[in-house]
Amino acid sequence: MEREAEASQVVTTCKAGILNRMWGVIATILAIIYTALLALPAAALSFFQQGHLATPVIRCWSWLILRTCGISIEVEGIENLDRLKSFVLVSNHKSLFDILAVIDLIPREMRFVAKREIKKIPVIGFILGRCGNVVIDRESGGREIRRALEVMRSGYSICVFAEGHRFNDDRVHEFSEGAAWMGIVSKLPCVPMAISGTMAIMPRGSKFVSPGRRIRITIGKPIETKELRSGNRVELTRHLEAEVAAAFHPEI
């Protein structure tokens, strides 16, 4: 009897694994379809009101993908944003689902700092540039900072994934100084945020989503920058890094 029960459990587990993989493949295909269908409306709307009209389309895109993939999101510390109009959101980065989670759950019009290579993606690269995102060109000098200031003056908040790129491990890596620099120059508060659980959904290099998982977002208290100068950017960077690392949960 025990052997039969064990065999039945193995079969059930195998079936569940196959169904989950099928769900992941279908969800990934649907995500590509959502992107294709919504890209052109977002591109058209990006020409008006400094890209603000495209925001509902971008949020719809994010919402559709997260729900299709069966992703649940827990948010802690959202009250820390209550009195803030615009800010620099400083986070770790594990997966493309980090971006979706920020768009869907943060109650502001969020824009992102992205690498120049993103512009090579047809339509998507165009939309990112038109809608207020800050595309970094390492040869641009201070132009990227000026672009970030223009974006924030337009009513957007900026999200910076301060590690520079994604890592396939369960820890927070050293932050670059760009986020702190943007906060100091703009005089807007820097808000540390830890995103946990997204690496298991779609780590770097994965072709398909692993659906039905959970994301946890932990938002820390804002750090004021009004009294800070450029010489404080290293100290501010280390402070932000420590806050995010303390709030990160690798076990999710």
Q: Which domain holds residue 173?
A: 2-247
Q: Is residue 132 part of a domain?
A: yes
Number of DSSP helices (H) and strands (E) in the chain, helices first: 8, 7
Asked, for residue 156, whether it belongs to a domain, the answer is yes
Residue 66 lies in a domain: yes
**What residues are paired with 223 via a beta bridge?**
190
pLDDT at 124: 67
Token output for 203: 């780590």
Over residues 100-114, the pLDDT tens digits come to: 999 999 999 999 987
Least confident residue range of 16-20, 21-25, 97-101, 233-237: 16-20
Per-residue pLDDT of 66-75, as tens digits, reads: 999 999 999 9
Tell me, yes or no, whether 104 lies in a domain. Answer: yes
Q: Enumerate the β-bridge partners of residue 74.
A: 216
What's the pLDDT tens digit per position in 182-229?
999 999 999 999 999 999 998 878 889 999 999 999 999 999 999 999
DSSP 91-160: E---STHHHHHHHHHSSS-EEEEEEGGGGGSTTHHHHHHHTT-EEE-TTSTTHHHHHHHHHHHTT-EEEE
CATH of residue 189 = 3.40.1130
Local confidence band at 154 (pLDDT 50, 70, 90 cut-offs)? confident
Residue 152 inside a domain? The answer is: yes
Bridge partners for 90 per DSSP: 160, 192
> What is the Cα 4 distance to its own chain's centre?
46
Integer Cα distance of 220 and 88 in angstroms: 12
pLDDT at 10 over 50: no
Asked if residue 243 is part of any domain, the answer here is yes
Residue 140 has pLDDT above 60, yes or no: no
Instruction: Tally the residues of the chain.
Output: 252
Range 33-40 average pLDDT: 92
Whether 252 is in a domain gets the answer no
Q: Sign of the C-alpha dihedral, residues 169, 172, 173, 177? A: positive
Give the dihedral sign, CA 120/171/233/224.
positive
Q: In the chain, how many domains are there? A: 1
The CA-atom distances, in angstroms, between 116 and each of 119, 155, 179, 181 are 6, 23, 17, 19
